[in-house]
Chain A
Amino acid sequence: MDMNAYLSMFIDESNDHLQALNENLLKLESEPGELSIVQDIFRSAHTLKGMSATMGFEDLAALTHEMENVLDLVRNSKLKMDSFIFDTLFKGLDALEAMVQDIVGGGTGKADVSAIVASLQIITKSDYKSGAAAPAQPAASAEAAKPEAGMTGAMLLDEFQSSVLMQSIGSGQNVYLIQVAVRDNCVLKAVRAYMVFDLLERSGEIVKSDPSVQDIEQEKFDNSFSVFMISPIEGADLQKQISDISEIESAVVTLLDQESLAMLIQAPAAPSMDSVNQAEESSAAPVIEAQSQAAATSAAPTPQAGAATAPAPAVSRTIRVDIERLDTLMNLFSELLIDRVRLEQLSSEIKRNDLTETVEHMARVSSDLQNIVLKLRMVPVDSVFNRFPRMIRDLAKSLDKKIDLVISGAETELDRTVIDEIGDPLVHLLRNSVDHGIETVEERIAAGKSETGIIHLRAYHSGNHVFIEVEEDGRGIHKEKVLKTAVKNGVVTEEEAKKLTNDEINMLIFAAGFSTADKISDISGRGVGLDVVRSKITSLGGNVTVDSAPGRGTKFSVQLPLTLSIISAMLVKLGSEKYAIPLSSIVETGILRKDQVLHVHGNRMIEFRNTIIPVVSLSKVLDSPDYNEDTEDETEIVVVRKGEKWAAVMVDEFIGQSEIVLKTLGKYLTNIEAISGATILGDGYVALIIDPNALIK
C-alpha cells in the first residue's frame, strides 16, 4: 500500500480524533461519573491507535495503546479517574499531538514517550497509589488471562451460524475451532492465509472466520485468525496439514461439542467473561478493525465499543476539498468579477436594452456566485476555539485559579484566511484574561465573588463583520496603575496623561512596551502581548477595543472583516492615477475649503465633528506626478480612521464605490509604504490599494 496517498487522510483524521479526545477528556473532568464519555474517548483513542499502527507510526500507536489500557480500566469501573490520571492522559495527548504535528511537518512521528508510557503503566498496574489497587486488581488479572481466552472470546457467532454448528454436532459431524497464527516475519500473510483457506475448503465446510475472509484476503488481519468449520477429517490430521504450509507459526484445532460451543456463544454476555472480552478488545481486535476503517476512509464508530452506549454521531453530508482548489476557484471568480465590471461599463456606453438586461442578469447571478464562493471558504471559529478549553484548564491549574470558560457562537463562520491568523491574538487575549484579569481564589472570596472566575468567549456576526469578545469577571483594569506605568515607560507624558478619558486610558494597555504585571510570569506580562495583538488584528483589517469596570471585569472586543479577498472600497483619483481606499476604514467623505484649514505647530488640521483632526495630503505621501491639491480652492476629503484616531485625506476626485478583489504585489515588491496591495479595475488597469493605517501617525 502506498502510504503517502493515505497520509493526508491520516493527518486529517488524527487531528479530528485528537480534538475529540481533548474535548471529551475535558468534559469527563467536569463530570467524572459519566461513563458514556469514557466510551467516546475510548473509541477515539482506539481508532487513532489502529490508524497509526497501519501507517507504521509505532510510537504513536504504542502511546495510544497505553492510554487506551488506562481508559479501558476506567470504562469498566475498575479505576476511578483522579487528577493524576487526568494530567497523565492530557500529557499523553500533548505528546500525541506533537507527534502528529511532526508527521505533518514531514517528520517520522517518532518521539521519546517512555516517561508518559511508564506513568500510564503505573496507573494500569494500579500501584501508583494503594487506594486504587483493589479495584484495579481484577483488570490486571483480566489482562493476564487474555492470551489464552482472548481468541475465543472475540469470536462472535450469529444465531444462524451457531444453530448450523449445533445441528452439525447433533448429527454427529466434527465441528472444529481452528486458530491459525502466521509467523511474524511473514511477508505475504494474505497468501499464506489463502493457502490455509484453500486447504480447509477442500477438507470441509467453513462456517465462520474471524476476521472475515475478505479482510483476510486483503491482509487486514494481525498475525492470526480463527475459523469455525465442519469437517469429516480427524482433528490431528487437519492440524498437521495446516502446519505443513510454510510460514505458519502454529495451528490449534479444537474439536467442539455442544457444551463448549454453547459456552462460546454465551461468552460475550456472561459476566465472568466480560473483562476478558474487554481486554481482548483493547489489544488484538482494534488493529484489524481500525485498519479496515482507515482503508474505508470513514471514521465510523467501532462496532464493539459503539454499540454499547453512545448513539452514532449524526452524519453530516460534507466532503473534504483541497484548499488550493478553493483558492483557484476564488481566483477564477475574481477574474469573472473584473470582466463583469468591464461589461457593465461597456453596456452603459452602448446603451442597448437587451444587452443591458443581460448584463444586469449576469451581475445578479455573479453576486450570488460571489456569496457562495465566499461561503465555501468559511470555517466555523470553532476550529480556533476548540483548543481554548484545554489551554484555560492548564493555565488555571498552573496559576492555582479556578476558571470556567464559557464559549458561545462557536459556529460563527469566518473566512479561512482570517481563521488562520486569528488564533495567536486570541491566545494572547485569553492568557491575559487568565493572568491579569481573574483573581486568585482568596482574592475573589475577599472581594465577595464566587470562587470560580468566568471567562466568556463569544463570537457573533454583525453586518459585514464578525465580533469576537473575551470577557471575564475579574479585577478590571486598574486605571492609576496603567497611567503610572504608561508615564514611566514613556508611552504618554504626564500632561497628556491628565487629559486622557477612561477609554483612552484603557487603550494604553495596547501600546508597545507596556505591561502592568508586577512580576513577569510564564503566561503573560513580558510587555509584548497586547500591542502585538492589536497590530495583528489591524493588519487583518480589524479592530480591537477594551471595556473595563474596576472590580467587575474586563471585556476585549475584536472586530474582524468577514473575508480578506474581496472588499468594498472607494475608488479615488489623483490626477491621472487611481487608488482604492477600503470602505471599512472610511468614516465620511466631504469637501474642504482652503480657509477651513487650521495650522497647529506647522501641522495642518481641520475641525471635524467638534474635534480637531489632521489633514493628510495623499499626493505628497504618494509622490503624485500630476496632482497637487494646493492648486485648488476646494478639495475632496476622505475621513479615515485607525482605531479612535481620525484623519482627513485629501484627494483629487471621487470615482465611486466598488467591490474590489485584493491582489498582492508579488514577492518582489514588499513593504511599500502606505500601499497594502493592488486590484484590477474594470478597464484592466491596476489600481493600488491605500493602507489608511499608514496615513495616521
Chain B
Amino acid sequence: MGEEVKVIVFALGNEEYGIEVDKVRTIERLSPITRVPKTAAFIKGVINLRGVVVPIIDLRGRFNLTETQPTENSRIIVVAVGEIEVGFIVDSANDVIDIDTDSIDLPPEIVGGIKAKYLRGIAKLGEGRLLIMLNLSEVLNKNEIVQLAQIEA
C-alpha cells in the first residue's frame, strides 16, 4: 500500500485531471480578467483575488488544446508552487477524492494531446475511470514560456 493523497478532480474536455489538494489554494468562479499585453496567448491576464493580483492561465491553451468559451461550470483553480501563484481556467471542478499513490502509473508519451512531461502519471480509479495527474512545476515552467514567446515573436 502506498500513501493516500487527496486530489482535486477537474475536467478539460472529456478527460479528468487531478492536482494534489495541498497545492491548491482555492477554487473560484470566473471573475473578470484584466488582460496583460505582450504575454503568451494562454495567459489570459490577472484577477483580483481578495487583494492579491493573480495571473490566470487557460489550461486548455497551455496544453495546446482548442480553447472554448467559458461556461457556467468553468472554474479557476488557484495553485501555489514555490513562490509562484497562478490560477488555471478549467471546464469544471467538482470532486475531491483519495487516491493511493501506488495506483499512479507512469504516463504514456501523449495523453489526450498533452505531452508526457506535463504529467505526473495516470491514476486508475476503478470502473474504467482514469485520472491524469499534473506535474505542476513543469506546467508552470517559465523557460518554456520564454521560448514560446520567442517563437511567436
List chain A positions with a Cβ less than 8 A from chain B.
Answer: 331, 334-335, 338, 577, 621-623, 625, 663-669, 672-675, 678, 680, 684-688
Residues of B close to A331: CB separation below 8 A = 51
Q: Are B51 and A678 in contact (CB under 8 A)?
A: no
**Is B85 located at the chain interface by the 8 A CB criterion?**
yes
Q: A673-B38, A685-B34 are in contact. List 14 more A-B contacts (CB 8 A).
A: A623-B38, A665-B36, A665-B55, A666-B55, A666-B85, A667-B82, A668-B84, A668-B86, A672-B39, A673-B37, A674-B38, A678-B46, A685-B48, A688-B34
* In the complex, residue of chain A having the shortest beta-carbon distance to the beta carbon of B140: A668
Residues of B close to A680: CB separation below 8 A = 48, 51, 53
Q: A665-B55, A680-B48 are in contact. Are A672 and B37 (CB under 8 A)?
A: yes
| CA gap between A674 and B39 in the complex, in Å | 12
Q: Could you give, for residues 44-60 of chain B, a 1 whenever the CB lies within 8 Å of some chain A CB and a 0 otherwise?
A: 01111001111100000
Residues of A close to B53: CB separation below 8 A = 663-666, 678, 680, 686
Interface contact tally, CB-CB below 8 A: 72
| CA gap between A673 and B36 in the complex, in Å | 10
Q: Are B51 and A672 in contact (CB under 8 A)?
A: no
| CA gap between A686 and B45 in the complex, in Å | 10
Interface residues of B in 18-38 (CB under 8 A from A): 32, 34-38
Q: How far is the CB of B139 from chain A (nearest CB, A)?
A: 11
**Is B95 located at the chain interface by the 8 A CB criterion?**
no
**Is B109 located at the chain interface by the 8 A CB criterion?**
no
30 A/B residue pairs, CB under 8 Å, sorted by A = A334-B51, A335-B51, A338-B51, A621-B37, A622-B37, A622-B38, A663-B52, A663-B53, A665-B46, A665-B55, A666-B55, A666-B86, A667-B82, A667-B84, A668-B55, A668-B140, A669-B46, A669-B55, A672-B36, A675-B36, A675-B37, A675-B38, A678-B34, A678-B53, A680-B53, A685-B34, A686-B34, A686-B46, A686-B48, A687-B34
Residues of B close to A334: CB separation below 8 A = 51
**Is B129 located at the chain interface by the 8 A CB criterion?**
no
From B43, B48, B54, A684 is in contact (CB under 8 Å) with B48
| CA gap between A78 and B17 in the complex, in Å | 81
Closest 5 CB pairs of A and B: A686-B34, A622-B37, A663-B53, A678-B53, A667-B83
| CA gap between A684 and B84 in the complex, in Å | 22
| CA gap between A20 and B36 in the complex, in Å | 49
Q: How far is the CB of B53 from chain A (nearest CB, A)?
A: 5
Q: Are B32 and A688 in contact (CB under 8 A)?
A: no
* In the complex, residue of chain B having the shortest beta-carbon distance to the beta carbon of A679: B53
Q: How far is the CB of A506 from chain B (nearest CB, A)?
A: 35
Q: Are A666 and B54 in contact (CB under 8 A)?
A: yes
| CA gap between A625 and B84 in the complex, in Å | 28
Q: Could you give, for residues 65-94 of chain B, a 1 whenever the CB lies within 8 Å of some chain A CB and a 0 otherwise?
A: 000000000000000001111100000000
Residues of B close to A622: CB separation below 8 A = 37-38
Q: Are A668 and B36 in contact (CB under 8 A)?
A: no
Residues of A close to B32: CB separation below 8 A = 685
| CA gap between A577 and B85 in the complex, in Å | 24
| CA gap between A675 and B55 in the complex, in Å | 14
* In the complex, residue of chain B having the shortest beta-carbon distance to the beta carbon of A336: B51
* In the complex, residue of chain A having the shortest beta-carbon distance to the beta carbon of B146: A671
* In the complex, residue of chain B having the shortest beta-carbon distance to the beta carbon of A624: B37
| CA gap between A688 and B35 in the complex, in Å | 9
Q: How far is the CB of A276 from chain B (nearest CB, A)?
A: 60
| CA gap between A688 and B82 in the complex, in Å | 24
Q: How far is the CB of B16 from chain A (nearest CB, A)?
A: 25
Residues of A close to B47: CB separation below 8 A = 686
| CA gap between A338 and B35 in the complex, in Å | 20
Residues of B close to A687: CB separation below 8 A = 34
Residues of A close to B45: CB separation below 8 A = 686
Q: How far is the CB of B29 from chain A (nearest CB, A)?
A: 14
Q: How far is the CB of B153 from chain A (nearest CB, A)?
A: 11
Q: How far is the CB of A354 from chain B (nearest CB, A)?
A: 29
Q: Are A577 and B51 in contact (CB under 8 A)?
A: no
| CA gap between A688 and B55 in the complex, in Å | 12
| CA gap between A335 and B37 in the complex, in Å | 26
Q: Are A668 and B142 in contact (CB under 8 A)?
A: yes
| CA gap between A20 and B38 in the complex, in Å | 51
Q: How far is the CB of B3 from chain A (nearest CB, A)?
A: 29
Residues of A close to B140: CB separation below 8 A = 668
| CA gap between A669 and B51 in the complex, in Å | 17
Q: How far is the CB of B149 from chain A (nearest CB, A)?
A: 11
| CA gap between A621 and B85 in the complex, in Å | 27
* In the complex, residue of chain A having the shortest beta-carbon distance to the beta carbon of B83: A667
| CA gap between A623 and B45 in the complex, in Å | 13
* In the complex, residue of chain B having the shortest beta-carbon distance to the beta carbon of A669: B55
| CA gap between A623 and B46 in the complex, in Å | 16
Residues of A close to B48: CB separation below 8 A = 680, 684-686
Residues of B close to A669: CB separation below 8 A = 36, 39, 43, 46, 55
Q: A674-B37, A675-B36 are in contact. Are A668 and B85 (CB under 8 A)?
A: yes
Residues of B close to A668: CB separation below 8 A = 55, 84-86, 140, 142
Q: Are B38 and A672 in contact (CB under 8 A)?
A: yes
| CA gap between A137 and B45 in the complex, in Å | 77
Q: A666-B84, A680-B48 are in contact. Are A577 and B35 (CB under 8 A)?
A: yes
Residues of A close to B34: CB separation below 8 A = 577, 678, 685-688
| CA gap between A613 and B56 in the complex, in Å | 38
| CA gap between A687 and B86 in the complex, in Å | 18
Q: How far is the CB of A633 from chain B (nearest CB, A)?
A: 26
* In the complex, residue of chain A having the shortest beta-carbon distance to the beta carbon of B35: A577
| CA gap between A577 and B35 in the complex, in Å | 8
Residues of A close to B38: CB separation below 8 A = 622-623, 672-675
Residues of A close to B142: CB separation below 8 A = 668
| CA gap between A180 and B52 in the complex, in Å | 64
Residues of B close to A675: CB separation below 8 A = 36-38
Q: How far is the CB of B55 from chain A (nearest CB, A)?
A: 5
Q: How far is the CB of B20 from chain A (nearest CB, A)?
A: 19
Q: Are A623 and B43 in contact (CB under 8 A)?
A: no
Residues of A close to B43: CB separation below 8 A = 669
Residues of A close to B35: CB separation below 8 A = 577, 625
Q: Could you give, for residues 115-127 of chain B, a 1 whenever the CB lies within 8 Å of some chain A CB and a 0 otherwise?
A: 0000000000000
| CA gap between A554 and B132 in the complex, in Å | 67
**B35, B48, B82, B140, most chain A CB atoms within 10 A:** B48
Residues of A close to B39: CB separation below 8 A = 669, 672
Q: How far is the CB of B103 from chain A (nearest CB, A)?
A: 31
| CA gap between A15 and B54 in the complex, in Å | 38
Q: How far is the CB of A687 from chain B (nearest CB, A)?
A: 7
| CA gap between A664 and B38 in the complex, in Å | 17
| CA gap between A338 and B48 in the complex, in Å | 11
Q: How far is the CB of B2 from chain A (nearest CB, A)?
A: 31
Q: How far is the CB of A507 from chain B (nearest CB, A)?
A: 30
| CA gap between A622 and B85 in the complex, in Å | 24
Residues of A close to B86: CB separation below 8 A = 666, 668
Q: How far is the CB of A412 from chain B (nearest CB, A)?
A: 32
Q: How far is the CB of A422 from chain B (nearest CB, A)?
A: 25
| CA gap between A684 and B49 in the complex, in Å | 9
* In the complex, residue of chain B having the shortest beta-carbon distance to the beta carbon of A663: B53
Residues of A close to B83: CB separation below 8 A = 667
| CA gap between A687 and B35 in the complex, in Å | 9
Residues of A close to B37: CB separation below 8 A = 621-623, 672-675, 688
